[in-house]
Structure 1
Amino acid sequence: MDWDKLRIFHAVAEAGSFTHAGDVLNLSQSAVSRQISALEEALQVPLFHRHARGLILTEQGETLNQTVREVFSKLAMTQSLLTESKEKAAGRLRVTTTTGFGTCWLTPRLHRFMETNPDISITLILEDNDLDLGMREADVAVRMHPPRQPDLIQRHLADFPLPIYASQSYLNDHGTPRTLEELNAHKLVLFGGYHPPVPHINWLAETGVPSDERRQARLEVNSLAAMAGAIAAGIGIGSIPLYAASQYPNLVKILPEVPLPTVDAYFVYPEELRTSKRVAVFRDFLLAEINARHH
């Protein structure tokens, strides 16, 4: 099994066709096809089912691809550590976090990191699903829950409370609720979508009502930034993390005596990047920003 054939096999497995893999590898479709046939002959097993609509991995192909993917991700990890200069942090850092935190909190502060670290470039991947750091879909993550993967290093960054907000114009028109029960008579802005970006984001729909009931939303939207904008525009009452609300300083906090759930933010990265300078300086930047302005 030579490296070159495995590299081509991996590209075909990820792309799902000889043509697409050829484009990625800068090889002709027939060259790609020949290499795969040679690998299948050497191993004496079929690696792909060939269909009119493309290629599907056989069971043996799946097994080989899992191993190859792990090997290549380890190589990519090693390469990024080797290219890192010993004296100063340099190179590319791939950061993933939720759309809301990335849009509302991280992006407006990122220029300070870039100014103090001129040799680091950032790829920012905003995604409410957790990307697989072990498989190198990103180098580091800011997660809004404790990490579920056991082999990741985690550093607790902050607890962001989820206050209840309304706009002054909404309160002028509809009155100010004094208790959670009074929310039943109000319009709510809730998160709508399959992948809640933070736990408890819709706690207002469930708190203070019988356990089999839910308050209905006047507006549901699958973005914290859009929820903040909608509450600021007077559509209704909603609960969002402080970092999403901070762009609208005229939001009014209501029901101050109600205990609030919090969002636990963690900085997470794989064990292999423990010695990485890029990761260390980015972690220090996050902690400094959070502590300086305390949210």
Structure 2
Amino acid sequence: MDWDKIRLFYEVAEAGSFTRAGENLGLNQSSISRHISALEHDLKVPLFHRHARGLILTEHGEILFRTARDMLMRIEATRSRLDETSELPAGNLKVTATVGIGAIWLAKRVSEFLGVYPDVRIQLIVTNEELDLAMREADIAIRLRRPSQPDLIQRRLFTVHYHAYAARSYIERFGEPTSLEDLDKHRIVCLGGHQPAFILAVHQLSTMGRDPKDPRPGRFVVNDSLALRVAIESGAGIGMAPAYSMEGNPLVSRVLRDIETPTLDSYMVYPEELRSVARVQVFRDFLVAKAQRWDH
């Protein structure tokens, strides 16, 4: 099998269409289509079901896709090992973080790191799913619980404090709750959808002070923490959010200050085999320094 064709097949499968793959790779659609047809001819099996809305992998295509993904991960792991011979921080660093920490806390600070280490290139993957570091889906992860995977180095960063917030415009219109019972008279906005249970739990005002079997109905439920923050800012209702996402925000005020609210500890984790990699070491030290200033 021609590796160039396999790599092209992988990109097409990831994109879901010849058009999007062409845009990503800088190739025209007809050229990509010819290469995929040639690969199918070589293998003597169909790899895609073609329809008007895009491409769906066949059973044979699924097998080849998993193999191609494993090959790419092994190549990336080999590249990282080769880079370890350099004492200067350089090369690619794939970082994954939860949506809130990645898009708000880390994204605000990464420009400083890039300025100090111009030869390091960072790819940030923002997701609440725990990517497999052993399979090199990412080099470093920032997570809101201790890792369950073995052979991972872990370093606690800071405690994430969650509080109840409301837009100042909402308070002017509906008043400010002073007790959990008052929440029964207010609009509640919640994080929902397909999220880890422990993350959903810290966002739930609907059950605070209530029987979990009889929660307050959420007037607005959204599966993204950034969208939840915007909803709170715009006056959709009262919701839980991490302190780092609301600190200094002139549009909102913290409410229910006397109520005990949940916390989660954040951790930086990475595989043991990357311990001596220069770009991992400096990024670890950078995060730890930033976290120490924030941990209060």
Give CA deviations for 1:239-271 in whole Å, capped at 9, x if unaligned: 101111125156333223322111232212233
Letter in 1 for 2:263: T
For 2:148 and 2:243, the matched residues in 1 are separated by: 24
Partner residue of 1:102? 102
SS at match of 2:104: helix
Partner residue of 2:72? 72
Letter in 2 for 1:109: R
- Contact in 2 for aligned 1:168/1:251 (Cα 8 Å): yes
Corresponding position: 1:145 with 2:145: yes
Letter in 1 for 2:215: R
Considering only CA atoms, is the larger Rg found in Structure 1 or Structure 2?
1
SS at match of 2:206: helix
For 1:228 and 1:56, the matched residues in 2 are separated by: 37
Letter in 1 for 2:293: A
Letter in 2 for 1:82: L
Change (3 A) 1:171 1:70: same
Partner residue of 1:15? 12
Letter in 1 for 2:181: E
Change (3 A) 1:212 1:240: same
- Contact in 1 for aligned 2:233/2:251 (Cα 8 Å): yes
What root-mean-square deviation, in Å, do the aligned CA atoms of Structure 1 and Structure 2 show?
Answer: 3.6
* TM-score (normalised: structure 2): 0.77
* TM-score (normalised: structure 1): 0.78
Corresponding position: 1:248 with 2:245: no
Change (3 A) 1:165 1:150: same
Change (3 A) 1:252 1:141: same
Change (3 A) 1:89 1:289: same
Instruction: Please give the residue correspondences for 1:40-79 in structure 2 after superposition, counting only pairs within 5 Å.
Output: 56=57, 58=59, 66=66, 69-79=69-79
| Structure 2 gaps, min length 5 | none
Partner residue of 2:81? 81
What is the CA distance between 1:30 and its match in structure 2?
6.2
Change (3 A) 1:35 1:174: closer
Instruction: Please give the residue correspondences for 1:121-200 in structure 2 after superposition, counting only pairs within 5 Å.
Output: 121-195=121-195, 198-200=199-201
For 1:234 and 1:110, the matched residues in 2 are separated by: 30
Change (3 A) 1:225 1:65: closer
Which range moves more in the overlay, 273-282 or 125-134? 125-134
For 1:121 and 1:50, the matched residues in 2 are separated by: 34
Change (3 A) 1:169 1:49: closer
Letter in 2 for 1:147: P
Which range moves more in the overlay, 89-98 or 194-203? 194-203
Give CA deviations for 1:131-186 in whole Å, capped at 9, x if unaligned: 34333333222123333434543322222011112244433443332321221111
For 2:191 and 2:63, the matched residues in 1 are separated by: 39
Partner residue of 1:43? none
For 1:52 and 1:253, the matched residues in 2 are separated by: 52
Change (3 A) 1:212 1:35: closer
Sequence identity (%): 36
Which range moves more in the overlay, 142-151 or 156-165? 142-151
- Contact in 2 for aligned 1:188/1:237 (Cα 8 Å): yes
Give CA deviations for 1:223-252 in whole Å, capped at 9, x if unaligned: 333433433343322110111112515633
- Contact in 2 for aligned 1:165/1:251 (Cα 8 Å): yes
Corresponding position: 1:279 with 2:290: no
What is the CA distance between 1:31 and its match in structure 2?
6.5
For 1:178 and 1:55, the matched residues in 2 are separated by: 53
